[in-house]
Structure 1
């Protein structure tokens, strides 16, 4: 069935629907409402305020003439002794619907007008006694101003009269057609949310199946890694002894690499737990087996740090690739890598440069998983579809939590090498200057501190701290202890010099953006203050806190509030204050934000958590996994491919593994 077969859908309507990514009848009926409005309880205008959305009965007292040039008209209406001016713009078709002395049901937003006081513009309306749309509970759709809510609802209703949706999950779950009916015509808000849950499980189950089919399609030859891991030999790479959890992680990762499936494992460990050492051990193992490897970091600072730390530990040649090296240098490094003269590359996103498109490598490490998008990982898999990929993070992103909960990605966990000794405090906006005085006094006593801002420069109308503003404010106060300024768009050379002065203790303070969030290792830093902390996510706050106390010494983290901080932001900051465990914070983030888009793609411009009114929580992921397991067990491969619609098949073809 085509959209044009639906009553009321002509060529112009099809054009509008396509702008909403609605191209099929199925797309139309599966459109998820962004909210629901209860039309069962009209109110009195006596109890309504500007800014309220109101449903009320009112009598038309006066009707203006229609301005045929502007196509505008107005009404003066009365409700419980309160008069209100209602304006209709560019709606000449509505003019004949109104008669003076008649009562109507109106729904719209009250606004203030300097001339008329409270007014309402272009409200929905129906004649009293003839209510059809403005009754019971009605869905609110994301229509981007292309349709009125009433018109779009009619399109969906017309589609449902001639089209009954079916689903591959109907044999496992309740009939999808019942859920669709409750989605658009719920008898209660709970019924609407239960319908959204049923459809969310459908979405997640299909995503899980797509992800599994992707893994089924990619195999590698056996015997690529004939050597057994030599833990004693690997330990000689470092000046310290590997912990039991590090050894266990190395063995788990290598066991996956020796299988016929590409490695798809995440290494989770809090800051300072030794993730880099584990990655280095596995890189060494890959090269000892005649393979080549890449270590990809999100920032030049971090890539350089890894390179400098590990280059002398390995007994094979390595190279560093960043955006600042010349094209001729990139070509030389790529050629040497292809010829086997270089066995491992360290770098940033520069490794996704077309210069390296033809290089062959078998093992890749992606450090700080949350800083890379799926499209970048997809580029890596295009270079080698069967590449063994290890991702590392202290705080898994919600999508990864979804994969972990559904058992579709393996996890290795590192225990801390020391007990965290960082005390976290929340600082009110009016106490920030006192905090600056305290930090300066600590720097005078030889301690080092980071002060983090959400912006580099001031932006008119946005009242947050910037590095520029901070340096100007604190120049005189911190001049005697020395301070550095660091932000993302500085040249790598300037950043490196600033870090060298800070790391050596020449400067006691660093004013920076979140560019220091990952990989900056100043072992003597014991204070970090994060200004406008409510503007940062849970993961960033935890990572920034991890910049201090890296030797286990007593340290302090100050989360500074903005002048106006929402209750939701305050809850997030309190969670960070009360919890030092990155994985637990990731779980809290998951519970708050939901699982996001399972495959990391946006569907119809929205992730799954943005698409629904409910969170994609643990319960939904668990039920989706159960549904996917049942379908996998009872459906052959070809039938499964045929059952998945085009959207999910494209996911199978295009989405890389996490």
Structure 2
């Protein structure tokens, strides 16, 4: 890798300042225009010292009555200011000689800061200070406060933004009829209103970003994001891939051999995927469906469509346990059809692994399942035409790209991404606008509903009694230990302690333990024993979150449920209810519950539909965290909020298509304005 180029000086900004501004992603005057304020301070009025209130920000003006450096309890500059109505103390713990000069007795100053009760009476700590002449005019607009970084003061940012507002072209790039239709103000007017709001502007509308000027900027941001994703979509359509027509030989044979019929949703998703695979450009489809909706079967049918045409298909899963489950399930389905599935994982013996790699490289084996071991260098898949990525949000962009690059030079494999974390519609429309989406919105017949119970930590004995009863009745149970993010060691300790406590409390039952620190072969052996019914209870950390399928398990106990995210709780609950027995999920929580913890448990208790849970999750967590946006390669939204501004997404999509089709120069100018040279076409 070459050296990282240091930021260059630009328009009145030296190299050192340019380096600091680059941390804020400000690389030129145009970026400053869209560096919008976080909040505003009202310096348009003065408050007499006698009426200032502790806990509230205020601006006062007065004469410095005294200034001294006090050494106790620590070195600080203590200044007393009077305005005729009263006096106030200002303190600076870090100060410079220039500040001492500015605050010499007899000088007139304006101080802005929060007033609080102190040892010397009412005081301000580290207020902003300005030297003024008697009778000097006050600002006429609210003062913007910008997002900043160390070494870049508010005064510097304000000066740079003001200069950009005076010198940069503030062209209106949106069609006038669209502005009228959506009731949005013009670009120049909106920028001035946000950088320099007038004193009569509604401060609440500005702070909450509900002001018409904010709506205008949010709409333009959403529009640019939609255009960027749409361009990625069109760029993909222009690339070539192997066309895999649906021949129906192997797919029909698999369907005929199954003891059940696919659901209507599975059949619909299969035909959408089959049509995509038959096209000569790469498919990029997201298959989302709730826990247990049958995504693996749909993926298997897609993989067979590649094999029918003499090409390879590979499936990548995020954990060893999940990858092995997929491999076993696919092998059981496909062995009767005379097909072998290669199994690639970091834990396989070197000799076995090398033999399998050689057969994949020669094209003798056409199907492979693995963890990220699939994307490591020695794996050669010369005829890869379809890559399936399960739980796609668990992989970073680079990992998904690496699998895509395994294909034949110049030809991209088709990509099918699967997720059991349903994505709310507003998110799918923005973060996944360059994907086609298939949804499995019905569960296969025979899945029994799962009862959810919330139980306080104090009633643990009752939970153990319920566990004993279920297992002595011939059922099996999971006991999932809490997520302790700060410490993997602590999480492991908790799992081991729980395992020991259950062994002691339930001597008549067979209890097993799996956790992330076990060797993969040990994990597999314990999981196999549980699947075979040789263990009654499986104590585990969250490694069993996805992919474990034991129909006889009818009880799931989740300890410290308040520490888990909603998607995780829903995934874990979905590990039971896979057979005919009535199933139960017991969520043990510790008091006192935080507001968020209470909200999460209420949602999971009241809902079994993954899409409803995902919508609530979006409310609680916000979009960035929900999709792992930091690693998704999507241009992140700085100002628009997917919940609050949902009604702007549809028109933004519509206008994006119109501009790209009929006004490409305008589309390009808009993208340059918002993304500069950083358009995120990195869509994996």
TM over 0.5: yes
CA contact 2:40–2:145 (8 Å) conserved in 1 = yes
Which has the larger displacement, 100-109 or 484-493? 100-109
Match of 2:163 in 1: 158
Compute the displacement of 1:470 (Å): 3.3
Match of 1:106 in 2: 112
The CA deviation string for residues 151-197 of structure 1, in whole angstroms up to 9 with x for no partner, is 43333223322224446546654433333223323333424614444
Distance, in Å, in 1 between the alignment partners of 2:625 and 2:511 is 42
Compute the displacement of 1:362 (Å): 0.6
With over 3 angstroms needed to count, the CA separation of the structure-2 counterparts of 1:183 and 1:614, relative to structure 1, is farther
CA contact 2:229–2:681 (8 Å) conserved in 1 = no
Distance, in Å, in 1 between the alignment partners of 2:157 and 2:463 is 54
Match of 1:17 in 2: 21
Match of 2:243 in 1: 224
The CA deviation string for residues 40-93 of structure 1, in whole angstroms up to 9 with x for no partner, is 7869899966xx5633548655421499xx995222468987965622413333
Counterpart of 1:391 (choices 411, 417, 422) is 417
Match of 2:609 in 1: 581
Distance, in Å, in 2 between the alignment partners of 1:545 and 1:349 is 26
Distance, in Å, in 2 between the alignment partners of 1:448 and 1:45 is 72
The CA deviation string for residues 93-149 of structure 1, in whole angstroms up to 9 with x for no partner, is 33333355867443148598xx8799754222346865757x864443332333333
The CA deviation string for residues 278-329 of structure 1, in whole angstroms up to 9 with x for no partner, is 1111211210111110111111111111111221422222200112135565
With over 3 angstroms needed to count, the CA separation of the structure-2 counterparts of 1:84 and 1:526, relative to structure 1, is farther
Is residue 502 of structure 2 the alignment partner of residue 497 of structure 1?
no
CA contact 1:401–1:587 (8 Å) conserved in 2 = no
Gaps of 5+ in 2: 1-6, 180-184
Distance, in Å, in 1 between the alignment partners of 2:625 and 2:533 is 44
Is residue 261 of structure 2 the alignment partner of residue 241 of structure 1?
yes
With over 3 angstroms needed to count, the CA separation of the structure-2 counterparts of 1:276 and 1:156, relative to structure 1, is same
Match of 1:277 in 2: 297
Task: Provide TM-score, normalisation by structure 1.
Answer: 0.84
Distance, in Å, in 2 between the alignment partners of 1:36 and 1:434 is 55
Distance, in Å, in 2 between the alignment partners of 1:635 and 1:579 is 46
**Superposed counterparts of 1:254-333, under 5 Å:** 254-314=274-334, 315-326=338-349, 329-333=352-356
Distance, in Å, in 1 between the alignment partners of 2:65 and 2:510 is 74
Which has the larger displacement, 20-29 or 87-96? 87-96
CA contact 2:363–2:381 (8 Å) conserved in 1 = no
Match of 2:514 in 1: 486
Counterpart of 2:129 (choices 117, 125, 129) is 125
With over 3 angstroms needed to count, the CA separation of the structure-2 counterparts of 1:574 and 1:294, relative to structure 1, is same
Is residue 560 of structure 2 the alignment partner of residue 555 of structure 1?
no
Compute the displacement of 1:24 (Å): 1.4
Compute the displacement of 1:518 (Å): 0.5
Match of 2:364 in 1: 341
The CA deviation string for residues 330-388 of structure 1, in whole angstroms up to 9 with x for no partner, is 44433321311111100111111122266441112111233222222222223346321
Is residue 433 of structure 2 the alignment partner of residue 402 of structure 1?
no
With over 3 angstroms needed to count, the CA separation of the structure-2 counterparts of 1:609 and 1:214, relative to structure 1, is closer
- The DSSP-based 3-state class of the residue aligned with 1:528 is strand
With over 3 angstroms needed to count, the CA separation of the structure-2 counterparts of 1:358 and 1:341, relative to structure 1, is closer
Match of 1:190 in 2: 205
CA contact 2:239–2:281 (8 Å) conserved in 1 = yes
Compute the displacement of 1:411 (Å): 1.9
CA contact 1:245–1:415 (8 Å) conserved in 2 = yes
Distance, in Å, in 2 between the alignment partners of 1:522 and 1:460 is 27
Task: Provide TM-score, normalisation by structure 2.
Answer: 0.81
With over 3 angstroms needed to count, the CA separation of the structure-2 counterparts of 1:381 and 1:438, relative to structure 1, is same
Counterpart of 2:378 (choices 355, 359, 370) is 355
Distance, in Å, in 2 between the alignment partners of 1:116 and 1:460 is 48
Match of 2:228 in 1: 210
Which has the larger displacement, 428-437 or 503-512? 428-437
- The DSSP-based 3-state class of the residue aligned with 1:268 is strand
- The DSSP-based 3-state class of the residue aligned with 1:608 is coil
Compute the displacement of 1:630 (Å): 2.0
Which has the larger displacement, 514-523 or 473-482? 473-482
The CA deviation string for residues 374-432 of structure 1, in whole angstroms up to 9 with x for no partner, is 22222222334632111222223468623588585232324111455112233345445
Match of 1:531 in 2: 559
Match of 1:75 in 2: 79
- The DSSP-based 3-state class of the residue aligned with 1:64 is strand
- The DSSP-based 3-state class of the residue aligned with 1:320 is strand
- The DSSP-based 3-state class of the residue aligned with 2:149 is coil
Distance, in Å, in 2 between the alignment partners of 1:321 and 1:604 is 25
CA contact 2:393–2:628 (8 Å) conserved in 1 = no
- The DSSP-based 3-state class of the residue aligned with 1:395 is coil
Compute the displacement of 1:546 (Å): 0.6
Q: CA RMSD in A?
A: 4.1
Distance, in Å, in 2 between the alignment partners of 1:530 and 1:160 is 56
Compute the displacement of 1:12 (Å): 3.0
Distance, in Å, in 2 between the alignment partners of 1:246 and 1:116 is 73
CA contact 2:483–2:491 (8 Å) conserved in 1 = no
Distance, in Å, in 2 between the alignment partners of 1:631 and 1:240 is 48
Is residue 387 of structure 2 the alignment partner of residue 364 of structure 1?
yes
Which has the larger displacement, 324-333 or 153-162? 324-333
Is residue 58 of structure 2 the alignment partner of residue 55 of structure 1?
yes
Match of 2:4 in 1: none
CA contact 1:296–1:351 (8 Å) conserved in 2 = yes
Match of 1:634 in 2: 662
Compute the displacement of 1:592 (Å): 4.7
Counterpart of 1:417 (choices 436, 444, 460) is 444
CA contact 1:523–1:550 (8 Å) conserved in 2 = yes
With over 3 angstroms needed to count, the CA separation of the structure-2 counterparts of 1:327 and 1:257, relative to structure 1, is same
With over 3 angstroms needed to count, the CA separation of the structure-2 counterparts of 1:132 and 1:300, relative to structure 1, is farther
Match of 2:3 in 1: none
Distance, in Å, in 2 between the alignment partners of 1:601 and 1:296 is 21
Distance, in Å, in 1 between the alignment partners of 2:172 and 2:482 is 46
Distance, in Å, in 2 between the alignment partners of 1:464 and 1:139 is 49
With over 3 angstroms needed to count, the CA separation of the structure-2 counterparts of 1:327 and 1:612, relative to structure 1, is farther
Counterpart of 2:539 (choices 511, 520, 527) is 511
